[in-house]
Every structure is written in C-alpha cells, then in structure tokens.
C-alpha cells in the first residue's frame, strides 16, 4: 500500500495516466513473471445523494441555504431570546412545517434512488474462475473478470467480447438505454482465441475511461508457449457497453475492462441537482427589497424612540426597574431594534412559502388529472415527478428534443422506389400513381415500367446490400406481408406468398429492415445469412445463394455502404447504397438525371432517400481489393483512414439502378406541435445519436426545416472537404456561417423571435458529435471560448438546430451551453430513452416520454407525458396558467402584507414608539393563516384569465408572459405603491374618524383596540374584494372561499371577543367588535374606506382602453375578462 502511494507521488504510476493494463482472468502474463494485480474501482453504482448518517445535517444545511428559511430561523431565535411583542409560535410553527414537509419529500425521493441502486448492485452475474462458473453479485465484479452473459440480459459492466455462441463470432446488441436506438448492432469477438477460455493467457492495454460511446482504442497481447505475444487491435466493435442488452445470441463471454462509476454509461450520467424556478429567484429578489423596507422601518422607529425619550420624561405609570436602568444603553437599543423587527416581521410572512408549496403541490394534480393527456394505447396519463417547476412550463425559450421515439415512432416504412426513372409506389385504395420516365421528357402512362431484368437487379441489391439478420420465430402465423396491398408496376400474381413461419428481422438501422421488407412486397425475400452465404427467394420461388465476400461498412463521412458478393455462376458483384450526394459522384453522370427528380421530390416530402448502384468486378479487381482490405484491417495505426482509401477506390465507376424512399413515421401531430411551439416563440433544437441524413429528413417532415431553409453544416464531412487541418477548417466555417447568419442578417423586429417570420433568409444549423467536441474543447482556451461564442450566436440566429451523432453527455453539454448563455434562457429537454437522462437533468425542465425505450427518462424527468403532442397543451395551457397564477399569488402576498404592516408602522408615531401592537395577537397570527390565505390559494389553483381553447389556438399569447413578464420590477413597484396607498387610506381614514372619539350614542369613547379593529376590518375586506375584482374565472369554490373567509372573520371576531377565555392573561378584544358595529359612524367609515381603496381599480377596468391585437390581463394592472377579450377579437 505504502509503495503504491510512493510510486504515485514520485511518478512510478505514470503509465496509468494515459492507459491501463488488464490481466484477463487475473492471470500473470507471461506466466513466469511476478504478478501484482492493478487496483481499479469496484462495480458499485451510486446515484443517491444522502446516507442515514448525513441526511439530517446535509438536508438542513441545504434548506437553510434558502434565504427565506434562514431569515425565518433568525426571527424565530430572536423571539425566543428577546422579550418581543409577539409569541415565538407565530414564526416557529410555519417554519417547522415547511422544513419538515420538504425533508420528508426529499428523503423519500432519495430512498427510491437507494432502492434502485441496490437492485442494480445486487443483480446476480455469472463469472468464470479457474474453469468454474460461479454466481456473484454485480457490485463484486472486478476489472479482469471473465463474465458470462445470456440472451436478453444486460451487460453488468463494459466488456471486451472474447467468445460468442454464434458460429461467425458475432453477437447482437441493443443500446436503447445508451443512445436511444433500439436497432440491433453487431459486435465481433477478438479473432483466433482459445476455444477454452480457461487456458487463455492475455493482457489488454486500453485507454483510460472516457464518456464517448463511439470511441475505444486498445490492443490485446496473447501469450502462447513462451513465444512472442500475438497482438490484436481492439476497437468499438469489440466493446460491449454496460446497460446494453444481448439479443439473438444465446451466450457470450467477455472480460471486464471498465467497472462501476468508470463505465461509459456512468460517465454519461448527469447527477441530479436541485432545480429552482425563475419565480423562486424573483421571490428572493423581492424578499430582499422588503427586508430592506423592514430594516429601514425598524431603524427609523428605534432612532425616533430614543429621540422622543430624550425630550420626554419617563411617565409615572411606566417607571423603569433598577435592572432596566443598569442595562447597557447600546444593548438596549439593539434589543429595541430586534423588537421592532419582530413587530414588523409580518411584512414578510412565512405563510407565503407554505401557500406557494401548497399551490405547487395541489396544482400538479391538474396535470395528472387532465383527460387530454390520457393515452389509450398504454392506458396511462401524465405523471408529475416534481411540483416545484409548474410555473417554469410557462417560461420556456429553448426546447431540446430527442428524435428517435420522441419526434418519430422509430418505425420505418417503405413508401416507394424508382427503377431507371420509373416509379413503383405502394397503391392504397384507388389513389392514382404518377409513374413516369424522366428520360422521355413528357409524362408517360402509368403502366410503363422498367425492364424485368433491371427490376430484379434492383431488388437483389435491396436483398443483399445490408447487415440485416433473420431471426426465426417459434410463433406460427401469417407474415406481415400477408397484409400488404397491391403494388403498382408488378402484377399481383408476382407478389410473394407469405411463408408458413413468421420471420423477424434485426439490423443496426431500422431503414435497412424497411428496405428488405420493401423488396418482399415486390417478390424478393431475404432468407438469411448462413456461413457467409446469403440466401434470397426470388419471384419464381427459387432460392438464390450468394457468397458474402466483404462488407464495406457505413460511415458518416462516406455516407454509403457496400457489399461484395459472388454468385453461383462465379460473377463478383459490388452492390452499394447511400445518400444521393455520396452516390451520384461515384456513378456515370448520364444516369444521374433519370433518378435525381424522384430523389429531390421524395426528400422534399420528408422521406429518407437512398440511391442504389452496382458494379461488376473482374477477378483481378477483386483480388487487389481483397488484399488491400485485409491489409488495412490489420493496421494498428490510422486503420480508419486506410480502410476509407480502399473503400473509395473500390466504389467508383458504378452503375446507378434506382432509389428508395422510406418514411420514419412521425409521432401523432408532431408537425402541428412543433409549429405551435415555434409560434409561441420557442426555439427547437433536435439532439440525436442518429445519422445525419435520417435526422435531417425528420426535421423536414416536422416542419423545423422548410423548403427554403439554407442549411449550415458543421460536420466531419464538411471539415474534411477543404483540404486543410480540421481545426483550421472549423475556424473558417464558423466565421463564414457567423457572417451569413448573424452579421448579414436583417435586424429582427421587437417581439419576433423566428427569423423566417421577417423578410430575410431562413437558416438551419447542423452539427455532429465530433465537430461539437472540437468546438467545446479546442486546443487553446482562447480559441475554445471564441468557438463557443460563434457557435452560440449562429445557433441563436437559426430557425432550428440539428445536432446528430451525439453522445448522451454531449447532449447535456449543449443544454448547459445554452442555459448559461447571455440572458440565461429557460430550457426544456424532452426524450424517451436512458440516453436522454443527462440532458433531462441538465435542463431547467425535463420531460420524459412514456415510450418503448424503458422508463429511465420517465424516472429522471420532472414531468412525463405519453406522447409528444401533449407537450403543446402542457406548455401553452398549463404552463401559461400556472405562471400567471403564481405570479399573481407572489405579487398579491407582498401587497396584502404591506397593507397589513404599514398601519402598524404609522401607529408607532402616535404611541411614543413603544412597540405597542395596533392589532390583537389573535389577528396578527390569523391574518395570513386563516383570514386571507384561502381566497388566494383558490385563485392560484383555479384562475383562467384566458380560456384554455383560446390559449391553444393562439400560441402567440405565450410570448406575452415570456421572460418573467409578470414578475418584473415595474409591476412589483406598482403592487408596492398600491399597498402603500391602501395602508395610508386605512390608517388615516380611521384616524380622521377618531378625531371625534365619542362614536356611540351613549357618548362612550372608543379606545386603541377599537381603532386597530376598525383598521383590520377595512384591511381584510379590501384585500379580499381586491382579489375578487381580479378573478376572471368564477367557480363555486371561489365564491365559497371569498365570501366564506369574510364571514369567518366576522364570526371569529364576535366569538373571540364575546367569551371570557380563562387561558388569556389579557383579553383585549372583549366585546370590542360588537361595540364597534353598534356605531353607525364605524359602519359608514368601513364602507367608505373600502370603496375609496378599490375605486382606482374599478375605474381602471372601466375606463382603460385595450392596446395591441390581444387585449389581455397582465396580473391585475390590466384586468380584462375573457368576455371582453372575445368581443375585441
């Protein structure tokens, strides 16, 4: 242990900085050398925040970091320590309630995380030790263990594939929980290993853990009989990632290379942090203003108290005790200051926080109860995981959405194909087809079609040029093809009859399956791959066999893939399919025009288009290509570049046969939802792990990219084009795009957020994961900062942004970049897979889709909805209303407490600054808890200042509350001025009445408690009726709580003052209320003061003229009813 630490300190451990060495099966290599096992972390996963021991101190520390909680704690301690005019209970009980409820909620959430961690860590796994298969818990796995995984199991850590039950040494994997793709990916074993792993003696040298899912560099040294070790290169195709699932393979063996928190899945996990809404930040800002007002009041009263005492002798009835006389003067002044603070403390009521918590908690049920969110397919509705962010749904400026499973259903469907310029379209019902031949100029008859030989060549290409595998199902029944409609261009008798046994396809890309199924419609069925032989069933029900020689895999730079096959007759054919931009330059140019029109029309319709070409290879050509490919695949250095050169050399002078159109079906109403969200002023970014072409066509189909959109592309392909270094090319492209999209763009009018809504050019931006890595982590820090700023400015001036080939952590980095940009815009992330968890946790608001990719996104989200279309109502209706309600609640609370405490402050000028309360202790305690709390709570839950249907139909209404419009300083000052005005009216109106204190018929004089009670009565009625004036949507609950609160106040006052309470030392209000109401003057002044206070509001509603196209209510400044809104529209 000591030696290891010394080595670490003095550089002896230097080798581990860049790479790690792993001993397969913990065996010394070579066998005669001393073996010191390296130390790596265990396989334990930890996502929880607290432990039993640190929960209480850590949680209390986090809660008291909130300025409000800390403030109320100080006030409570002051009330306990200092002799103050009010009881400590008034502050202590509400504070205790808030702290307890929050702690219980957070403790329960963390307990669920602990439970989930235990399930993962205690999962049983099979490990090979000394030739024996033993079971151990997942958390006990160590780097170097040889692990056995069976079909449909999840890989417990990152493994290098050593052995597979499949004859060809491959296995199939789904990575839905990592990158959202549910397609099967093929992984390969390390070649030429011992069949019995017990005798395998090998080491693996690989890079240190890093989060990129698509990168892995390593090599394996295999030791045999004291010879020089054999070296095998290792790449991503050999690495099985934790969280992925084994499919269509009975069993595999792999050696653990990364475990626990060092796995790529764990490195891509973004820890859950406490999210705070913009409203909470506004409350804190307003709180500081009112704290300043409170301290100012206390300072003024303390100063004036000692000024007044210096001019007046001590009254005979209130002489100081000896102890008071001996007290230090400065200490006495400080104590008086604290007493005034406590007396005026009600200007910042803790009850506001209780009401806000209740409003958020109860309000969240309306989302869960909304019947429009119920999905009959999964028989579930919306789910609310946190109620803290309801109002944030009304403030969203940027939406980051996943593509697969969120925008689309991840369900590719073959639509049509074009062979030699003739269109072959799937006919539905009696719809007309537009088959035509471009080469002939005018449109031809529908019946015309390409020659049978070309048709069959094209269909063979579809059946052979792919990496699809056939999985035979034991389930008997009709194949999907049985439900296919008639296909134009081929006679119905030529369509393949359904086989007796249902056959399933698995592939790395869903569009490959769609093409194979498309070929089935036209009579060619792929039967599978057996021992490097591909079998297809043609139209004549004959089985054709082709030997698979090489697969030239798809990559994002070439954007095409090819296969080399040998037919029974010995002909060697190369079939190639890919994007039009990558195929057209590789074929004879005279053939291109026949196909181009079809491709462009299909791309415009939002379909995923692929072109198909072929080439005959002579024996010499094939021999050279075969030798070059084998040599490139064995290279340890620059393997990808060498393979690319061979691929490009082979894929030339091809003959173009035709093109296909495949549709990745969009989610229901996806395009309408995107249009509504953009109309509301939100910018939509698509972040996907998918290929660029597929993602781009989805963006067109959703309407995020329009026909006239000019796409600015910053991808690996564009960086390779210029012939310069990637860094230099990146710099040039960023400057070029910045000039186009930012410098040369026309100025945007106020209130218009999308550039295409103004006269000007429409830009869309596309970036891939590799280019983003260069932008975010440039070689120099100054360059990196400059690139980030350029990148952000370009993106913010584009109508939509597409980020493809993104690793989960890169998605979170993009969200963080925008979240922390100038203006701190509110961000929302929406996704359905575990690969979206990082960005869901990073954004201000995280939305999970209850899709097919497991429930990781749903568990980690703030809100979960069944379908993308539900996002429209969630934001435009629920979000809008929640924000308006809580904004009004916050402003109203500060207003009503300013009204409440200002008369108390003014009263000190008339009572010698003696800290005499104006109101009875019962009134002080009950004002916020009982008399005025229920009406504003009901308002904040039920108010609809604009009807939900109007909000959904007019998405532009969402813009009018954007950027925290209803909690800005202008409105806050309006409410504060209103509170001061009402407080002055209450106090001096009653003071004017008391200029003649004999207010009863018998000449009895009213005292100070009567004065305070009249002020309090006017106060309660005015603030409650003010809320009634602001209410636009009346329900029986509103009526009940508003009129019920006023009735309860009257009843309580009679009851409290009408009985002698034995537990009270001083019963100050005994019959005060009843006597007050026996005076006609008191009745008159109460009614007059209420009317005088509310008169400006009533006049404002009646006389104010509407401005702009939508007359609307902003808080209570411009209260217009929905009825008025409809009339003026």
Q: Which residues have CB under 8 Å from 370's CB, separation 6+? A: 381, 382, 873, 878
Q: Which residues have CB under 8 Å from 174's CB, separation 6+? A: 181, 182, 183, 184, 185, 244, 245, 247
Quickly tell me which residue has 């490990």 as its tokens. Answer: 127
Tokens of 751: 């209130």
Q: Identify whether 402 is a catalytic site residue.
A: yes
**Helix H or strand E segment including 954:** none
Q: Which residues have CB under 8 Å from 228's CB, separation 6+? A: none
> Backbone phi, then psi, for 57, in 5-degree steps?
-65, -40
> 125 in helix, strand or coil?
strand
Q: What span, in angstroms and rounded, lies between the C-alpha atoms of 1075 and 1003?
A: 12
DSSP percent split of the chain into helix, strand, coil, nearest 5: 50, 20, 35
> 535 in helix, strand or coil?
strand
**Helix H or strand E segment including 399:** strand 398-401
Quickly tell me which residue has 């019920």 as its tokens. Answer: 1044
Q: What span, in angstroms and rounded, lies between the C-alpha atoms of 916 and 913?
A: 7
**Residues, the chain, total?**
1129
The phi-psi region of residue 821 (left if phi > 0; otherwise alpha if psi is between -120 and 50; otherwise beta) is: beta
Helix axes 726-738, 769-776, angle to 10 degrees: 90
Closest by CA to 1117, choosing from 987, 997, 968, is: 968
Give the sign of the dihedral formed by CA 752, CA 753, CA 757, CA 761.
positive
Q: What span, in angstroms and rounded, lies between the C-alpha atoms of 296 and 800?
A: 50
User: Is 468 within 8 Å of 518 (Cβ atoms)?
Assistant: no
Tokens of 531: 């021992």
User: Is 573 within 8 Å of 565 (Cβ atoms)?
Assistant: yes
User: Is 723 within 8 Å of 732 (Cβ atoms)?
Assistant: no
Q: What span, in angstroms and rounded, lies between the C-alpha atoms of 78 and 143?
A: 58
Q: What span, in angstroms and rounded, lies between the C-alpha atoms of 1044 and 931?
A: 9
Q: What span, in angstroms and rounded, lies between the C-alpha atoms of 961 and 982?
A: 27
Q: What span, in angstroms and rounded, lies between the C-alpha atoms of 1017 and 749?
A: 50
Burial degree of 445 (CB within 10 A; 0-12, 13-18, 19+):
exposed
Q: What span, in angstroms and rounded, lies between the C-alpha atoms of 687 and 426?
A: 32
H helices of 249-312, in order, are 264-267, 278-311
User: What is the CA 373 to chain-centroid distance, rounded?
Assistant: 18
Beta-sheet pairing, 230-234 with 218-222: antiparallel
Tokens of 426: 């799937």
Q: What span, in angstroms and rounded, lies between the C-alpha atoms of 68 and 65?
A: 9
Tokens of 206: 């690989």
Q: What span, in angstroms and rounded, lies between the C-alpha atoms of 267 and 242?
A: 11
| Cα distances (Å, whole numbers) of residue 255 to 40, 136, 221 | 14, 15, 14
**Which of the residues 402, 420, 511, 920 is marked catalytic?**
402
> 404 in helix, strand or coil?
coil
Q: Which residues have CB under 8 Å from 673's CB, separation 6+? A: 868, 869, 871, 872
Q: What span, in angstroms and rounded, lies between the C-alpha atoms of 239 and 294?
A: 64
Q: What span, in angstroms and rounded, lies between the C-alpha atoms of 764 and 801?
A: 6
Query: What residues are labeled active site?
Result: 402
């Amino acid at each position: 242990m000591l030696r290891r630490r010394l080595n670490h300190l003095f550089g002896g451990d230097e080798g581990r900085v860049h790479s790690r060495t792993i001993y397969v099966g913990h065996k010394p290599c070579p066998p005669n050398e001393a073996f010191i096992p390296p130390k790596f972390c265990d396989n334990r996963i930890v996502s929880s925040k607290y432990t039993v021991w640190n929960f209480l101190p850590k949680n209390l520390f986090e809660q008291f970091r909130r300025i409000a909680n800390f403030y109320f704690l100080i006030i409570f301690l002051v009330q306990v320590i200092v002799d103050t005019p009010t009881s400590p209970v008034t502050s202590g009980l509400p504070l205790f309630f808030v702290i307890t409820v929050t702690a219980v909620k957070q403790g329960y959430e963390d307990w669920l995380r602990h439970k989930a961690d235990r399930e993962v860590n205690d999962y049983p796994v099979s490990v090979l030790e000394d030739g024996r298969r033993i079971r151990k818990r997942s958390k006990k796995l160590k780097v170097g263990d040889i692990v056995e995984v069976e079909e449909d199991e999840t890989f417990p850590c990152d493994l290098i594939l050593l052995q597979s039950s499949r004859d060809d040494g491959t296995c199939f994997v789904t990575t839905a929980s990592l990158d959202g793709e549910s397609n099967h990916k093929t992984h390969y074993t390390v070649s030429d290993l011992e069949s019995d792993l017990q005798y395998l003696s090998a080491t693996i040298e690989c890079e240190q853990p890093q989060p990129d899912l698509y990168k892995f560099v390593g090599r394996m040294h295999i030791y045999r009989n004291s010879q020089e070790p054999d070296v095998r290169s290792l790449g991503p195709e050999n690495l099985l990632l934790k969280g992925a699932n084994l499919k269509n393979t009975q069993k595999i063996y792999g050696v653990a290379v990364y475990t626990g928190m060092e796995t790529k899945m764990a490195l891509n996990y973004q820890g859950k942090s406490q999210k705070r809404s913009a409203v909470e930040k506004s409350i804190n800002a307003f709180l500081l203003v009112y704290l300043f007002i409170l301290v100012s009041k206390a300072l003024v009263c303390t100063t004036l108290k000692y000024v007044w005492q210096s001019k007046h002798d001590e009254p005979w009835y209130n002489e100081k005790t000896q102890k008071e006389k001996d007290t230090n003067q400065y200490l006495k002044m400080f104590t008086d200051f604290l007493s005034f603070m406590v007396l005026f403390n009600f200007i910042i009521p803790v009850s506001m926080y209780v009401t806000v918590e209740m409003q958020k908690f109860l309000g969240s049920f309306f989302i869960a109860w909304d019947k429009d969110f119920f999905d009959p397919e999964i028989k579930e509705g919306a789910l609310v995981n946190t109620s803290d962010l309801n109002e944030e749904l009304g403030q969203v400026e940027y939406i980051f959405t996943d593509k697969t499973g969120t925008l689309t259903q991840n369900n590719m469907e073959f639509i049509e194909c074009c062979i030699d310029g003739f269109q072959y379209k799937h006919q539905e019902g009696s719809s007309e087809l537009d088959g035509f031949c471009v080469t002939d100029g005018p449109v031809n008859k529908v019946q015309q079609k390409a020659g049978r030989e070309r048709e069959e060549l094209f269909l063979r290409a579809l059946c052979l040029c792919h990496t699809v595998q056939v999985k035979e199902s034991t389930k008997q029944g009709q194949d999907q093809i049985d439900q296919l409609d008639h296909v134009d261009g081929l006679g119905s008798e030529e369509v393949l009859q359904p086989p007796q046994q249902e056959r399933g396809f698995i592939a790395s890309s869903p569009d490959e399956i769609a093409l194979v199924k498309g070929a089935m419609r036209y009579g060619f069925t792929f039967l599978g791959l057996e021992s490097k032989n591909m079998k297809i069933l043609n139209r004549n029900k004959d089985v054709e066999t082709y030997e698979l020689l090489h697969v030239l895999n798809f990559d994002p730079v070439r954007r095409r893939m090819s296969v080399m096959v040998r037919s029974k007759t010995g002909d060697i054919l190369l079939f190639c399919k890919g994007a039009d931009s990558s195929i057209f330059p590789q074929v004879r140019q005279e053939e291109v025009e026949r196909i181009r029109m079809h491709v462009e029309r299909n791309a415009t319709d939002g379909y995923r288009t692929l072109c198909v070409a072929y080439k005959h290879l002579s024996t010499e050509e094939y021999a050279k290509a075969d030798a070059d490919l084998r040599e490139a695949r064995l290279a340890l250095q620059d393997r990808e570049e060498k393979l690319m050169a061979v691929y490009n050399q082979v894929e030339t002078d091809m003959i173009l046969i035709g093109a296909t159109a495949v549709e990745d079906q969009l989610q229901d109403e996806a395009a309408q939802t995107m249009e509504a969200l953009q109309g509301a002023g939100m910018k939509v970014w698509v972040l996907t792990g998918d290929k660029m072409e597929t993602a781009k066509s989805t963006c067109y189909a959703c309407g995020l990219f329009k026909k006239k959109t000019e796409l600015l592309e910053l991808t690996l392909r564009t960086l390779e084009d210029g012939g310069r270094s990637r860094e230099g090319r990146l710099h040039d492209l960023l400057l070029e795009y910045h000039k186009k999209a930012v410098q040369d763009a026309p100025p945007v009018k106020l209130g218009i957020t999308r550039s295409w809504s103004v006269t000007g050019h429409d830009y869309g931006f596309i970036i891939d994961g590799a280019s983003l890595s260069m932008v975010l982590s440039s070689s120099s820090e100054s360059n990196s900062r400059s690139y980030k700023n350029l990148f952000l400015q370009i993106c913010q001036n584009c109508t939509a942004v597409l980020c493809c080939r993104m690793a989960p952590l890169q998605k979170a980095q993009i969200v963080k970049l925008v979240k922390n940009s100038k203006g701190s815009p509110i961000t929302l992330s929406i996704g359905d897979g575990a690969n979206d968890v990082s960005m869901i946790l990073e954004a201000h608001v995280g939305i999970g889709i209850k899709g097919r990719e497991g429930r990781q996104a749903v568990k980690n989200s703030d809100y979960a909805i069944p379908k993308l279309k539900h996002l429209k109502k969630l934001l435009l209706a629920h979000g809008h209303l929640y924000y308006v309600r809580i904004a009004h609640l916050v402003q109203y609370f500060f207003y009503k407490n300013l009204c409440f405490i200002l008369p108390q402050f003014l009263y000190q000028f008339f009572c010698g600054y003696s800290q005499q309360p104006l109101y009875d202790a019962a009134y002080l305690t009950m004002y916020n808890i009982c008399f005025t709390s229920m009406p504003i709570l009901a308002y904040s839950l039920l108010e609809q200042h604009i009807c939900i249907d109007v909000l959904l139909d007019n998405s532009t209404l969402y813009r009018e509350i954007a950027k925290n419009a209803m909690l800005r300083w202008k409105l806050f000052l309006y409410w504060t001025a209103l509170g001061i005005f009402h407080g002055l009216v209450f106090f001096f109106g009653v003071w004017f009445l008391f200029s003649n204190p004999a207010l009863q018929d018998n000449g009895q004089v009213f005292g100070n408690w009567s004065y305070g009670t009249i002020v309090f009565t006017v106060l309660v009625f005015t603030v409650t009726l003010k809320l009634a004036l602001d209410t636009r949507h009346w329900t029986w609950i509103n009526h009940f709580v508003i009129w019920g609160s006023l009735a309860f106040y009257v009843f309580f006052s009679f009851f409290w003052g009408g009985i002698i309470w034995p537990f009270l030392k001083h019963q100050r209000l005994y019959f005060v209320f009843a006597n007050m109401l026996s005076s006609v003057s008191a009745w008159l002044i109460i009614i007059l003061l209420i009317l005088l206070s509310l008169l400006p509001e009533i006049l404002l509603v009646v006389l104010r003229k509407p401005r702009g196209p939508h007359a609307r209510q902003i808080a209570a400044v411009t209260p217009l009813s929905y009825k008025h809104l409809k009339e003026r529209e």
